[in-house]
Structure 1
Amino acid sequence: MNAFQMITFIKELERLKDTTRTAYMRSGRRESVAEHSWRLAMFAFALSDEFPELDHFRVLCMCLVHDLGEAYDGDISATIQVNQQEKIRKEEEAVQRLTSALGGKQSGAILSLCQEYNRGETKESQFVKALDKMETIIQHTQGTNPPGFDYEFNLTYGKEYAEYDEMIKAIRDEIDKETLKKMNENA
């Protein structure tokens, strides 16, 4: 890889700064995919001492790349029913397109991490998936959402990913308490 290829890739990543998610910030503006991925990585980093068995470099990289596939078609709300296999296929194609300037080895490594995340079979991917869902819900309770926002959906969203570990489950329980509080405030 040369300097031009690297700069081309980094410029292409700007798309994720402009790609908004369905979560809102405290200010009322919509959160970007890049902001979500950064905070997810910080969430994982802050918990790293609690999970010494994990490959934390792999975890942090997975946090940073897990939503790269949203660069071209955007974020699809979890409340919208879609064909998950088709969504994953399109996102993996987008990752290949986004990373094409890097060349085979780096592009392949990033795609491999995205696929590992999507499969959710490794300890690292299960950890990232659990935190990904919880970070989203934290943003929903922290943000200034539009009237009629469906907080109740958050009580079940991704809950199955938190069941594998007591610490993760405890964090999820606290997040659910915040969701219930938000629901009561908006009732």
Structure 2
Amino acid sequence: MAVSSRLPSQPAARGLLRRTPPRILPVERAPRRLALGVRAVSGGPGPGGSPVPRRSPAPADAAAVAPTSAPSSAASAIDFLTLCHRLKTTKRKGWINHSIKGPESIADHMYRMALMALIAGDLPAVDRERCIKIAIVHDIAEAIVGDITPSDGIPKAEKSRREQAALDEMCEVLGGGPIADEIKELWEEYENNSSIEANLVKDFDKVEMILQALEYEKEHGKVLDEFFLSTAGKFQTEIGKSWAAEVNARRKEGCGKQK
């Protein structure tokens, strides 16, 4: 087929030279930053119908947002801690009565009990943090009354009365307030054996004692049957029974090796 060599007509040529105007895209504007002290809460409509940010109202009184309870003063805190120093230096009388050289202190005993509560893991319906707190304070009154043991011949009710009075005195030294109240509550909970946490810490108290007895038997070549007999059958929780059984099993194993 022949191809025409003629150029297109003038109007058609002009049409070919037309260009489509470029498309202008809308420019996105960055969101306007709010001034300090302005919340992104809309008030009435502003220009163009957009909401106008409204400033947060300043509190009428700064004291209204201040903590409701102030911590103990530095002087009261140091006085209390100085009193607690006696827990580090007072030796447990049960070991003294058995002529153990360099026996553990009251604080030593409470510290390992707190570790027991820490490593016991998560137990159903048990507040582990509360167990740790109870372990730390359960013998705290002994900073004043000392370590009263059954060999002292003091009735249990009288022992409890003395320790309660000592605890009240220590909390007064601390300056009272919510922390002192919590210490009293934790101590009374343990004393009355009134919670699952108290049950568990009571067991830790016995486990720690027989474990220490086993260690002293090995270190000093002594037989400390009294401590094992006094705790036998008195554990309240499964973990207490399990740990006590492990200590007793190791003791029997050690006795077998010595023979």
State the TM-score bracket (shorter-chain normalisation). 0.7 to 0.9
Give the structure 1 partner of residue 192 of structure 2: 119
How far apart in 2 are the matches of 1:83 and 1:186?
Answer: 39
Structure 2: which 5+ runs fail to align? 1-71
Give the structure 1 partner of residue 136 of structure 2: 64
1:13-62: per-residue Cα shift (whole Å, max 9, x none)? 101011110348xx94110001111111001111033x142112211110
Q: Which has the higher contact order (CA 8 A, sep 6+)?
A: 1
Q: CA deviation at 1:146?
A: 6.1
Identical aligned pairs, as a percentage? Answer: 27
Q: Label 1:84 to 1:94 Cα distance change in 2 as closer, same or farther (>3 A).
A: same
Matched, 1:90 2:166: no
Give the structure 2 partner of residue 140 of structure 1: 213
Q: CA deviation at 1:104?
A: 2.5
Give the structure 2 partner of residue 18 of structure 1: 89
Q: Name the count of aligned residue pairs.
A: 182
**TM norm structure 2:** 0.62
How far apart in 1 are the matches of 2:149 and 2:258?
Answer: 21
Q: Label 1:180 to 1:74 Cα distance change in 2 as closer, same or farther (>3 A).
A: farther
Give the structure 1 partner of residue 247 of structure 2: 175
Structure 2 counterpart of 1:2, from 70, 73, 95: 73
Give the structure 2 partner of residue 129 of structure 1: 202
RMSD: 2.6
- Structure with bigger helix share is 1
**TM norm structure 1:** 0.84
